[in-house]
Amino acid sequence: MATSSQLKAERSRYYVFREQVNTLATKVLESYNQYYSVHNKIKEAYTIDGESGDKGAIKKSYEQVKQNYDTLINNTLPAINNKIDSLSAQIRAAEQKEEEEEKRAEEEAARQRASEMLERI
């Protein structure tokens, strides 16, 4: 079992990772908004037989960008949060185990000292 300090370090890395994914999601959303704006301008300015002048290429592209954003928000971030929650639970368990082990060691040391004192008498 990992120590609480090792688990805390891993959790810290996940906090950083979560912030990086949030930043990426924001940039992907900005990209989506720009694609959408360009698509609407082309659609308004250039239409052939009721279709956008780019034959839907930009629409397909911005739909893919939107799908990537949705994946980040709906799948990736919740998975990272679940991992952080799991690590937090593991940290609590490790800290409890470490406290118990420390207490046992202190009790054993006290017994050893008492035994040594009795031997001297």
The residue to which tokens 């040594």 are assigned: 116
**How many beta carbons lie within 10 A of that of residue 62, not counting itself?**
19
Q: Are 78 and 14 in contact (CB under 8 A)?
A: no
The DSSP element (H or E) to which 47 belongs, if any, is strand 47-48
The tokens for 98 are 């470490």
Per-residue pLDDT for 74 more than 70? yes
Residue 94's contacts (CB-CB under 8 Å, 6 or more residues apart) are 1, 2, 3, 4, 7
pTM of the entire structure? Answer: 0.75
pLDDT band at 37 (very low <50, low <70, confident <90, very high): confident
